[in-house]
Structure 1
């Protein structure tokens, strides 16, 4: 006599188990309705926006170096850092306007001031910082109106830390997983990256006798950048995975090698009165900072394209 018939659903569940009773149903694939991603990936051009992130850090770090050189009587370092800050922020604004499409869109962001919006705060910050760097560089170039130039240099230095780091707050304020989950450490990473880039530019252009502050800033900036980025990846969990995949991994590995190597070489050049090692160290630091920004940008785009980086952390938070 046969036993009672199993319900149809029970028979289906039974067929989906192997002989050892373990489920053999394949793991779920994360997708959304109609095959569309959970998030719309950033539509920003990498060259424009990653370049904007990089150049802002370079400008901020250079303004701080310029102010320090002014206070310690290093005129060549102060002049080159002023020019570096003015040039970097000009190119950064050009990259931003190019991505926006036309200058009027940037000017429209100045119509209101919204303290809760990183974009609004950043726009006003740039509107105040950029003219100060231009005045500082112009007065130094024409060798006139020195008190005005000194005041502009000091004003730019006051705004410089925010200029170097606000872009980290800006991208962390988005829903892009690999950017948003790094909101605690990313400003420190960008601060260190901006400092090492500014030190690199100084080492590349300043005589050995005046490059002492740049060498020290290079070591400090590299330690801050590399230390906080490793801490960020450990804390982020699954959202850190895109940093270790594909093109982002190659860029970030290059950034780590270039920044660490450049800082070590910069430290050694303090004992060698030769411009060539300092120039190599400076070029490595500049390239390492750029590779970091482009790597972070690329990892963020990749995390937005794959639904698991959005869905899995949400489920884990819900479970907790």
Structure 2
């Protein structure tokens, strides 16, 4: 038996009452919209929160979302252990070379030797983690086929290629006690390249489309430089005699102050986009870094020059604080890429301001 309903150019006609799809729960008969053609329903009938006749909500209010709830940009696929570890060890190596050169100039031989060796170990571990994440060593070598000053990744590859042999020569010649002039030249060269090695990874991630990294590109190099100084100070406190710990204490104070100030300025400037730095895993890592750096710096100031055990514990706290900072920045970037609002909302705000300025 055929139904008397159908569809023409004016819409659906002759449908049976109560056949409409229900959104948001059960409806009573009185709440259902009338059946019939559009002309039978009348021109004033609207679907909304409350129509003129007080009908219930049929379509949910629009909420922010993205297509099928998918991220607008692809989140980084890097391994947190490999890349955040690469950030941390690179910072330790670069800042360690600077502190080693200062220790050598001031006659602190034990500290200079320890930091040269630790910088070589750190840059070796950093390179190993990078190659492990790339998958094959040939991929790192392929980045050296061109020289492109506009590419932070390409320039970083060349920077590591220049720094690693220089730091290696400084450490090996110091340990062997051979060729002191060449060793001093290598120490100076590593110290000149060290700040760039400590901070270039911040430039690298700031050049991506990840909101928490890209929008923080102004302050992230200072955050990474301060974190690197904290790590180098921690290593010096662990490996040096207490009589030589003066520069390490100063580096701890400087690094903690720089990292803390740059982080606060960045998060205040980022506003809404800076939320990932304060929430979730990144927020926990950030708070841990703040606590560890404060404890390590206080311990270094109070006992770092008098008590060997206290100096070592303070150094360990500073190293852990630097690692937490690097892993926290990495996790904040991943979180901001996975949530589409951190990409779309700032875009809409920029477009609104541009339209207002044009008007």
Residue equivalent to 1:307: 340
**Aligned residue number for residue 75 of structure 1:** 109
1:143 aligns with 2:170: no
Unaligned runs of 5+ in 2: 1-39, 354-359
Count matched residues. Answer: 314
Aligned to 1:112: 146
Q: What's the counterpart of residue 31 of structure 1?
A: 66
Q: What's the CA shift for 1:177?
A: 0.5
Give the Cα–Cα distance (whole angstroms) in 1 for the partners of residues 96 and 44 of structure 2.
69
Residue 126 of structure 1 corresponds to 160
**Which of the numbers 79, 98, 104 marks the counterpart of 2:132?**
98
**Is 1:273 matched with 2:309?**
no
**Does 2:259 align with 1:225?**
yes
d(CA) in 1 for partners of 2:330, 2:313: 26
Match of 2:316 in 1: 283
Which residue of structure 1 lines up, in the alignment, with residue 283 of structure 2? 249
Q: Could you tell me how far apart the structure 1 residues matched to 2:52 and 2:338 are?
A: 33
CA deviations on 1:165-213 (whole Å, 9 max, x unpaired) are 0000000110001111111100000000000100000001100111110
Counterpart of 1:292? 325
Q: Which structure 1 residue ranges, 5 or more long, are not aligned?
A: none
- Tell me the TM-score normalised to structure 1 length: 0.93
CA distance, structure 2, for counterparts of residue 154 and residue 16 of structure 1:
77
- Pair 1:11 & 2:46 matched: yes
Shift in Å at residue 249 of structure 1? 1.1
Q: What secondary structure is seen at the aligned counterpart in 2 of 1:11?
A: coil
Give the distance between the partners of 2:284 and 2:105, measured in 1 at CA: 40
Q: Is the 8 A contact 1:261 1:281 kept in 2?
A: yes
- 1:299 Cα offset (Å): 1.0
Whether the 8 Å CA contact 2:235–2:316 is kept in 1: the answer is yes
Distance in 1, matches of 2:223 and 2:329, equals 11
TM-aligned CA deviation for residue 35 of structure 1: 4.0
Distance 1:218 1:12, change over 3 A: same
Residue equivalent to 1:214: 248
1:301/1:114 Cα in 2 relative to 1: closer, same or farther (>3 Å)?
same
Q: Which has the higher contact order (CA 8 A, sep 6+)?
A: 1
What value does the CA root-mean-square deviation take over the aligned residues? 2.2
Question: Greater Rg, structure 1 or structure 2?
Answer: 2
Compute the displacement of 1:283 (Å).
0.3
> Are residues 1:240 and 2:274 paired?
yes
Deviation at 1:269, TM superposition (A): 2.0
Residues 1:182 and 2:230 are matched in the alignment: no
Instruction: Mark the CA change 1:6 to 1:268 in structure 2 (over 3 Å): closer, same or farther.
Output: farther
**8 Å contact 1:16–1:25 — kept in the other structure?**
no
Instruction: Name the structure where helix makes up a greater proportion of residues.
Output: 1
